[in-house]
Amino acid sequence: MKTVYLFPGQGSQFPTMGLDMYEKYEQARNLFDRANQILGFSITDVMFSGTEDDLKQTKVTQPAIFLHSVIMATLMGDKFCPDMAAGHSLGEFSALVACKSLTFEDGLVLVSKRAMAMQKACEVEPTTMAAVLGMDDAKVEEICQTINGIVVAANYNCPGQLVISGSIASVDEACEKLKAAGAKRALRLPVGGAFHSPFMEPAREALALAINETKFSQPVCPIYQNVTAQAATNPEDIKANLISQLTAPVRWTQSVVNMIADGATDFVEIGPGKVLQGLVKKTNSAVNASSFVL
């Protein structure tokens, strides 16, 4: 039996997130307070008492989810004993910190820089994403290739659930063609831009500089990274994959399949929400998937 720890990405945030940990555990308070110093603003004020809209601010969302996940993993202490780990998009940074490849401080700085770089890239040109349900991945890819302009597969979440990303006109055209071809649903998502697409190239370049200046160590277990869906332990490989991640698709379905093939039997989600355990069960209903509760 092998246990995998999973770390969620953007969209899992909720008002009051992290407040229970802050109130109960001194170790959590110290880390949250340190985060406020590093970021230069009180992210805890927004996390603990902000509205849903407040939490959607780019400079808040990604660090907030990262902090919730990493601090929860830290509070697990000796219970945190992964055979493998993976994170969905932003969650990959949480996984790397929890598994000792990055320090808490360096991980938070990179996440903050990543959020700002993505926001800046989104402002260059109006772009979007759309969820496609009930269609084979290969068919979605095939239809996207027939569209004028840029629209690509961005998130392979589970069988029958794929997110596409690109220019607004191209995504809209793809949605119409996908529905005509038999997709159960193809609808735009309320996101800031075309994440995991060529439109994130300016953000990739900015983040590459920061990643290359940061020290990475070998993690305590293999990290299945989004770009390759394969296990990585070599720090240089991890860095290269992280840099590629912003413009490459999140191969979550493939990562789950590969982890199961490598012996994973139990998947435990650490952080806000329950999205990832649901995707795991939709990929393979025979494995155990749950959330860690302090």
Average pLDDT over residues 262-291: 97
Give the phi and the psi of residue 73 in degrees, each rounded to 5: -65, -40
Q: What is the pLDDT of residues 191-205, one digit of tens each?
A: 889 999 999 999 999
Average pLDDT over residues 239-249: 97
- Residue 287: pLDDT band (50, 70, 90) is very high
CATH architecture for residues 127-188: 2-Layer Sandwich (3.30)
pTM: 0.96
Mean pLDDT, all residues of the chain: 97
Looking at the chain, how many residues does it have? Answer: 294
- Residue 189: pLDDT band (50, 70, 90) is very high
Q: Given this model, what pLDDT does residue 139 score?
A: 97
Whether 128 shows a pLDDT value over 90: the answer reads yes
CB 8 within 8 A of CB 272: yes
Which long-range CB contacts under 8 A does 273-278 form with residues at least 24 apart?
A: 273/8, 273/11, 273/12, 273/14, 275/8, 275/11, 275/12, 275/88, 276/6, 276/7, 276/8, 276/88, 276/91, 277/6
- Residues with catalytic roles: 89, 196
Q: Given this model, what pLDDT does residue 248 score?
A: 98
DSSP category for residue 27: H
Whether 57 shows a pLDDT value over 90: the answer reads no
- Residue 243: pLDDT band (50, 70, 90) is very high
Whether 58 shows a pLDDT value over 90: the answer reads no
Query: Among all chains, which residue has been given the structure tokens 């190239």?
Result: 201
Q: Given this model, what pLDDT does residue 31 score?
A: 98
Among left, alpha and beta (phi > 0; psi -120 to 50; other), residue 126 is beta
* Rounded-to-integer distance, Cα 69 and Cα 46, Å: 16
- Residue 250: pLDDT band (50, 70, 90) is very high
Q: What is the pLDDT of residues 136-188, one digit of tens each?
A: 999 999 999 999 999 999 999 999 999 999 999 999 999 999 999 999 999 99
Residue 36, both tokens: 């406020």
Q: What is the pLDDT of residues 84-99, one digit of tens each?
A: 999 999 999 999 999 9
Whether 134 shows a pLDDT value over 90: the answer reads yes
Average pLDDT over residues 241-262: 98
Show me where the domains of the chain are located. Answer: 2-123+198-291, 127-188
* Rounded-to-integer distance, Cα 219 and Cα 101, Å: 4
Taking Cα atoms as reference points, which of 202, 208, 214, 198 lies closest to residue 242? 208
Whether 190 shows a pLDDT value over 90: the answer reads no
- Asked: is 2-123+198-291 a CATH 3.40.366.10 domain? The reply is yes
Q: Given this model, what pLDDT does residue 165 score?
A: 98
CB 294 within 8 A of CB 79: no
Q: Which has the minimum average pLDDT: 11-20, 42-51, 52-61, 239-248?
A: 52-61
